[in-house]
Amino acid sequence: MLLVAGDSETESTGYSRFLMDSSRVNNNWPFALEGLPFILIATILTIFFYGIGFFILAVLSGCLAIFIVFFFRDPHRTCSCTPNAVVTPADGRVIRIQRLEGKENPLEGPAVRISVFMSLFNVHVNRIPITGIIQGIDYHPGKFFSANLDKASEQNERNSIVLETMNERRIVVRQIAGLIARRIVCWAKEGDRVQTGQRFGLIRFGSRLDVFLPEDAEVIVQAGQRVKAGQTIIGYVS
């Protein structure tokens, strides 16, 4: 499913897709550009309320503007790991590591699923877990269960990115909307050559990412561990 920002279908599904562009992937602002409209609105309200003498409302809207900047923050990060290392695509906490049998998963065979939950206070910019080529992108509308539930991976609104590594191994990164997350943003497109740690999207206001690795992958993270997108290694693929 190919959606472009601004399409009517985009607005109705809550899903945004942009062609890979340097303004987002190589963002030099301290916050993700998707947050700019919200920051401007909150700032304008702060100035307006202050100008008419509603100081309490001015303080509240000012605090809101600060929180929005904090939520959409996009710190510069570098990755210096080995080519076969897989880094976490999201900040947050590893809530589940699960061995999957059969074909009921995006890899269509035995696999390992690592789930990372992002709270409101985590950086929400998502990053590529390993260098390779994007073979496909599959978006599904769905429900908005709490992202830490098992059923969220299959029933919530989600966007799956199929990535083939330089050694021709497939992994899948799945962006999953949460209870209050209503907008999945993906800047990648099929055929893109991507690098470990490169930005590829975000999810607004709390959510989860699942990474599906081949069954023989070496997983080095543990459930409950805090991880940082583009830097924390979660495993290795041969």
Q: Quick check: helix, strand or coil at residue 13?
A: helix
Number of compact structural domains in the chain: 2
Length of the chain: 238
Name which residue leads in pLDDT, 152 or 201: 201
Q: Quick check: helix, strand or coil at residue 43?
A: helix
Binned at pLDDT 50, 70 and 90, residue 41 comes out as very high
Binned at pLDDT 50, 70 and 90, residue 134 comes out as very high
CB of 130 within 8 A of CB of 171? Answer: yes
pLDDT digits (tens, 9 = 90+) for 87-109: 999 999 999 999 998 877 899 89
For residue 78, give the DSSP letter: -
What angle do helix axes 55-71 and 36-51 make, rounded to 10 degrees? 170
Is position 183 within any domain? yes
- Residue 58 sits in the same domain as residue 124: no
**Does the pLDDT at position 6 exceed 80?**
no
pLDDT digits (tens, 9 = 90+) for 111-133: 999 999 998 889 999 999 999 99
CB of 125 within 8 A of CB of 202? Answer: yes
Give the phi and the psi of residue 117 in degrees, each rounded to 5. Answer: -100, 130
Output the domain CATH number for residue 149: 2.70.70
Domain of 37, in residue numbers: 33-71
Is position 119 within any domain? yes
Give the phi and the psi of residue 60 in degrees, each rounded to 5. Answer: -65, -45
Strands 184-186 and 15-17, sheet pairing: parallel
CB of 188 within 8 A of CB of 173? Answer: no
Mean pLDDT of 13-41: 74
- Residue 85 sits in the same domain as residue 114: yes
- Residue 46 sits in the same domain as residue 155: no
Q: Quick check: helix, strand or coil at residue 33?
A: helix
Structure tokens at 38: 């919200």
User: Distance between CA atoms of 91 and 88, rounded to whole angstroms?
Assistant: 7
- Looking at residue 7, its pLDDT comes to 35
**Does the pLDDT at position 165 exceed 90?**
yes
Is position 224 within any domain? yes
Which sequence positions are flagged as catalytic?
Answer: 207
Q: What is the full DSSP assignment across 158-181?
A: EEEEEEEETTS-EEEEEEEE-SS-
- Residue 225 sits in the same domain as residue 161: yes
Residue type, position 14, single letter: G
**What's the mean pLDDT when you consider all of the chain?**
85
- Residue 124 sits in the same domain as residue 45: no
